[in-house]
Amino acid sequence: MWRDATLVAGRDLRVELRSRVTANQVAPFALLVLVLFAFALDPDGPVLERATPGLYWITVLFAAVLAIARSAAIDEADGVRDALRLSALHPSGVFVGKALAVAAELVALELLLGLGVVVLYGAEPAGVGLLAATCACATVAVASTGTLYGALVSGLRVRETLLPLLLLPVLAPVLIAATRAFEAALVGVVADGWPWCGLLAAFAVLYSVAGALAYGTLLEGS
Amino acid sequence: MTAMTHAGYIAAGWLGTAALIGGYALHVLRRGRRLSRQVPAEERRWS
Amino acid sequence: MTATSPARTHGGTTDTTPHTGPPAAPGPEHTGSPATRVLGLAALAAVALLVLYGLVVSPPDREMADAVRLMYVHVPAATLLYTGCFFTTLASAMWLWKRTPGWDALAETGAEVALVFAVVTLVTGSLWGRPTWGTYWTWDARLTSTAVLTALLVGYLALRRLDLDPDARSVRAAVLGLLLVPNVVVVNRSVEWWRSLHQGSTLVRLDPQIEGDMLVALMIGFLAGGLVFAWLMVHRFRVAWLAQQADRIDLDAALAARRAEAAAPAERPAPAGRPAGEGVSPA
């Protein structure tokens, strides 16, 4: 299964490298959202600073929806789905591979956005260990959940509108937990943030397992 | 019955609930009748 | 409050068309049955009792005065909301296992009825909040979780309404439905934890000293709510069942029409794109 996963992850990432959609469109969009938040909230007062963790993670989520839609679209091209079914690839491997590819893109986005909030919002990195752990767990959580839900809406004409509607409520706990963890790291007591990181890890495990199990059914049935 | 405090909110809540559930019930019943006309009786397993 | 079909005078004959005379007729043109009539009447009676106890007999609360009367609707509604979600998840799991259409119908039913109760929960909760806390929305754990749950249900029902091959639709809906209860649990836990950091004290919980007539009113609320819920579930399930049958009939009719066309090409213009290869007149 891991071999299959690596194969699929490699394919997805190669597609991204060749088309550069995440780099050329999703990343700028994410930075744009950060800028828009500054327009909407007063950049001179304390609001932006206080809200930084939340704004950061909302931006990550919006960008993730786009990245996941792209990931799902790769398999919607003519015949790809049938090819996947007929190939000897293990469905769980396909799932893990796609999730890994999305996760890689998300990590890049998170680093970029981290730079963004440091520069644009004047955030001061602190509690970096907690920040890194939170990002790692949240990334796996978002990537695995997103890959599963991406498969749920794949091939549908209404994919663009249905995916956020399905995915974002499910990811609400991730938003809550990641924001609290970041708050603890940046402005609060670091020790307070670790339990939230734990919640993220649990969420990540839950959806990784669920996705691995359900992907086969979805590939077959749709 | 002495005057109820917050009577407006209570009325809104109870009547709103009645409207929501009653409206939905009517919707279901109407849809049931419409579909029943399209489906021959053998398919049904009730009454 | 709930409408039942016009009363029929007697139960059925042994065949499936008890309410219209001759067996050849299409049969009862509604989703009612003797069982649902009984259920409906019981529900109406319970609701009447609730109105009596909830609005008249039970006393105003010490702290929230008469606003507590909204709790007699709000709390049962919240419980029934979760019950509906439970049905959807259970039915989704069963469908994935057994693949019989009844489970698919039940999954859809549970979600739609749950959504109705979700709206009731939000509305009554918000109306309770206004006189008690001063605002319509308080971001307390229960209301917030219910709001997220409402979004989950709307998403699920949106997926179900898609114009897809029914089997494909059922598979996707089943996977989504299966995840509904786990999602609800995770959301509830996270939101509760989050809000507990800010509101050291109460979430929207009942006054722990609820007793006497207030407790009775609440219990009647559960009873009335439960009966209404059951009545709605049965009717909505039958509607879902009928919809499946209607789809199948439409599909069969369309297939039959295709076969008829294929069997008699001389009567009709050639199918699009085909030059006159079967002796038909040039298009």
Give residue-wise pLDDT tens across range A162-205. 999 999 999 999 999 999 999 998 888 888 889 999 999 999 99
Is residue C263 domain-resident?
no
- The residue ranking higher by pLDDT, C191 or C24, is C191
- C34 CB contacts (<8 Å, ≥6 apart)? B47, C11, C12
The verdict on residue C5 lying in a domain is no
| Residue C60 scores a pLDDT above 80 | no
Residue C44, domain member (yes or no): yes
Whole-number pLDDT of residue C154: 96
- The dihedral region occupied by C266, where left means phi > 0, alpha psi between -120 and 50, and beta the remainder, is alpha
pLDDT of residue C199: 59
pLDDT of residue B45: 67
CA distance C113 to C80: 9
Buried b (16+ CB within 10 A) or exposed e, C23-49: eeeebbbbbbbeebbebbebbbebbeb
Model confidence pLDDT, tens digit, residues A212-222: 999 989 888 76
C168 touches chain A (CB under 8 A): yes
Q: Which residues of C touch B12 (CB under 8 A)?
A: 127
Cβ–Cβ gap A221/C167 under 8 Å = yes
C93 pLDDT higher than 60: yes
Domain assignment present for residue C29? The answer is no
For the stretch A77-113, pLDDT in tens is: 777 877 877 787 888 999 999 999 999 999 999 999 9
- pLDDT category at C137 given cuts 50, 70, 90 is confident
Averaged pLDDT for residues B24-33 = 92
Min Cα–Cα distance to chain C from A75, Å: 16
Closest residue to C246, CB basis, from B10, B39, B46: B39
3-state secondary structure of C21: coil
Could you tell me if residue C82 is inside a domain? yes
Please state the separation of Cα B41 from the chain's center in Å: 25
Q: Give the per-residue pLDDT at C209.
A: 62
pLDDT score at C235: 93
pLDDT at residue number C212: 76
- Average pLDDT of the residues in C43-56: 85
What are the respective helix, strand and coil percentages of chain B, to the nearest 5?
75, 0, 25
| pLDDT of C3 higher than 60 | no
Domain residue limits at C133: 40-200+210-258
C191 touches chain A (CB under 8 A): yes
Q: For the whole model, what pTM was predicted?
A: 0.85
Asked, for residue C68, whether it belongs to a domain, the answer is yes
Total structural domains in chain C?
Answer: 1
Cβ atoms of C90 and C179 within 8 Å: the answer is no
Whether ipTM > 0.95 holds is no
**How close, in Å, is residue B20 to chain C by CA atoms?**
7
A chain contacts of residue C171, beta-carbon cutoff 8 Å: 217-218, 220-222
| DSSP category for residue A188 | S
Which of A168, A206, A217 lies nearest to residue C182, judging by beta carbons? A206
CB of B3 less than 8 A from some CB of C = no
C172 is a domain residue: yes
Asked if B28 and C235 touch (Cβ cutoff 8 Å), the reply is: yes
Q: What is the CATH number of the domain that holds C246?
A: 1.20.120
From CA C142, how far away is CA C132, in angstroms rounded? 15
Mean pLDDT, rounded, of chain B: 82
List the 145-174 stretch of C: residues with Cβ below 8 A of B: none
In the predicted structure, residue A22 carries a pLDDT above the cut 80: no
Cβ-defined contact of C168 to A206 (cutoff 8 Å): no
Q: How do residues C174-193 score in pLDDT, each as one tens digit?
A: 999 999 999 999 999 999 89
Question: Among A121-130, C21-30, C205-214, which stretch is predicted with the lowest mean pLDDT?
Answer: C21-30
Note whether C154 contacts A: Cβ–Cβ < 8 A.
yes
Residues in C 75-94 with any Cβ partner in B closer than 8 A: 77
CA distance C133 to C68: 13
Lowest pLDDT segment from C66-70, C110-114, C183-187: C66-70
